[in-house]
Amino acid sequence: MSARSRDLPRRSCLSIPGSSEKMMGKGPGIPADMVFLDLEDAVAPKEKESSRAKIATAIRTQDWGDKVMCVRVNDWSTKWTAFDIIEVVAGAGERLDEIMLPKVETAAQIVATDLLLRQVEIANGLPIGHIGIEAQIETARGLINVEEICAASSRLETIIFGPADFAASMEMPVLTGGVQIAEYPGDHFHYVFSKILMAGRANGLQVIDGPYLYIRDSEGFKNYCQRTRTLGYDGKWALHPDQVAILNEVFSPTQEQFDRAWAILDAYSSATEGEGKGAVMFGDEMIDEASRKMALKFISRGSRAGLTRSK
Ligand code: GLV
Ligand code: MG
């Protein structure tokens, strides 16, 4: 795992096609927590090989601040994966934090990526373990194996849901992935969201929701983001710069929640340490050890988002 990026926020994960020097040029100015330069589905087959060098140059020569820097390579069923990794890592140098692996179906594919990265790191004078892995779950087989996948390597930093490919893999009768299906009485992805979240959390990973394809529909996007935010996800993809500000807001605690979490922690620690009590009243609410754990999650999420205590 990349020591630098593992705990950085990923509220907004911006996708940029690696074939477009123009779009990569604009990337540093967009306030996304994480950026991934794509070699997979946003790049046409005949552009894939030439895009590797463009991506490496963009990572090496542009000032990306403290964004998490990632490259999405092609999946292991293609002829490109190993060559994508070898060329991009060699060319990008140490500013590259992670490789994103799409359509992961087995733990063996993560192990293969881990072993290849180790050799590439040694060959390029990078510390072993420098490059982390983000894994996308977007097929029926990937979802069945998600628990083993999340436990397959210490390089793993995130597990990501890919709704568009997943809808195709499941043969759902939809032509737009990652949006609500009006005819379905409930959330057709609820089981999927929960299963991926549990597997990720059980292995200490950040858990990320994928794209929302109606990029002009800000209201619908904001509303849809609340589903995975409410379940506990850390962030979601942005396909357009306009989606980034919405994500940064939805996936951060408010100042009020952050201050309240601190106040709960204070009240609980003075009760347990001072008065020797396990449970205590906090306003109208009874708080105990579980409240402390919930408060700590808000504090770490808020601190990662740059909040400081205001009272
Ligand atoms: C993302 O890659 C998706 O397929 O939704
Ligand atoms: Mg996909």
Separation of CA 139 and ligand 2 centre (Å) = 9
Separation of CA 163 and ligand 1 centre (Å) = 5
Nearest CA to ligand 1 atom 3: 162
Query: 79: Cβ–Cβ under 8 A, 6 or more apart, which residues?
Result: none
Q: Which domains does the chain have, with CATH numbers?
A: 12-250 (3.20.20.60), 255-304 (no CATH)
The reply to whether ligand 1 has any atom less than 6 angstroms from the CB of 163 is yes
The reply to whether ligand 1 has any atom less than 6 angstroms from the CB of 177 is yes
Lowest mean pLDDT among 55-64, 97-106, 172-181, 241-250: 172-181
Measure Cα distances from 105 to 116, 138, 282 in Å: 18, 8, 47
Separation of CA 215 and ligand 1 centre (Å) = 14
Q: What are phi and psi of 179, to 5 degrees?
A: -130, 165
User: Quick check: 1 pLDDT over 50?
Assistant: no
User: Quick check: 177 pLDDT over 80?
Assistant: no
The per-residue pLDDT for 181 is: 85
pLDDT one-digit tens code per residue, 276-287: 888 889 899 999
The per-residue pLDDT for 217 is: 94
**Which residues lie across from 36 on neighbouring strands?**
15, 70
Nearest CA to ligand 1 atom 2: 162
Separation of CA 213 and ligand 1 centre (Å) = 10
* Span 76-95, average pLDDT: 98
Nearest CA to ligand 1 atom 1: 162
Query: 244: Cβ–Cβ under 8 A, 6 or more apart, which residues?
Result: 12, 14, 30, 31, 32, 238
- Single pTM value for the model: 0.93
The reply to whether ligand 1 has any atom less than 6 angstroms from the CB of 138 is yes
Return the best residue to mutate from 136, 139, 212, 239 for the ligand 1 pocket (most ligand atoms within 8 A of CB). 136
- Tokens for 40, please give them: 């997979």
pLDDT one-digit tens code per residue, 99-153: 999 999 999 999 999 999 999 999 999 999 999 999 999 999 999 999 999 999 9
